[in-house]
Structure 1
Amino acid sequence: MDVRCTSIEEVRQHIDHIDRDVVALLARRGNLVAQAATFKKTTDDVRAPARVEQVIAKVRAMAGEVGASPEVVEQVYRAMIAAFIEQELHAHAALSAR
């Protein structure tokens, strides 16, 4: 949904609303990442570079479909995936220590 704003304050208000949604979605994704750690046997399974590239290709295609910059989406996803891999490695190590 494209919104036409009439002031910078209105732009910021809309961005703040989107940020709340994005953070909630990141929390949901993080929960699933933690669950995924229980199914992976090795740290190589956690890093899964081939899977990362599948996700990147998928989200770049999605970006094109919805009018987002594929380059920006890829950069954001690579950063997000790297952070979630770190989280998952910690979860995996904790599970392995048990």
Structure 2
Amino acid sequence: MRDCQNLDEVRERIDQLDQHIIQLLSERSQYVRQAAAFKKDKDAVKAPARVESVIHKVRQLAVEHALNPSIAEKVYRAMIAGFIEDELQEHERINPSNR
């Protein structure tokens, strides 16, 4: 991270980061869709224990990177909820008999 000299620079860096974040979210989404093929049912897609494991991990990572862990948790819970919806749709598409 570099120090910015004015608000325009701050916004420019945020815009650049947003581009990277979206690229990473897209890549994560593709892996989530692949995971749907390996899960036997909707409960496996929802995987509440896995969700909590991820939340625990990202809270620890947040502390290591000087980010408020509550922010990381809120962002990840929202992101995971969206990905679960997407994965459920993919799971239904490839396993129509599991509806």
Q: Does 1:53 align with 2:57?
A: no
Query: Counterpart of 1:62?
Result: 61
Take 1:31 and 1:50, find their aligned partners in 2: how far apart are those partners? 21
The residue matched to 2:95 in structure 1 has which SS? helix
Question: How many residues in Structure 1 have an aligned counterpart in Structure 2?
Answer: 97
Large movers: runs of 4+ above 6 Å: none
Task: Deviation per CA, 1:3-44: give whole Å up to 9, x if none.
Answer: 211111100000000000000000000000000000000000
Q: TM-score, normalised by structure 2?
A: 0.96
Q: CA RMSD in A?
A: 0.9
Task: Deviation per CA, 1:36-59: give whole Å up to 9, x if none.
Answer: 000000000000000000000000
Structure 2 unmatched runs, 5+: none
Query: Counterpart of 2:8?
Result: 9
The residue matched to 1:40 in structure 2 has which SS? coil
| AA of the residue aligned to 2:42 | T
Take 1:3 and 1:70, find their aligned partners in 2: how far apart are those partners? 22
Structure 1 segment 1-98 matched on structure 2, within 5 A: 2-97=1-96
Structure 1 unmatched runs, 5+: none
Q: TM-score, normalised by structure 1?
A: 0.97
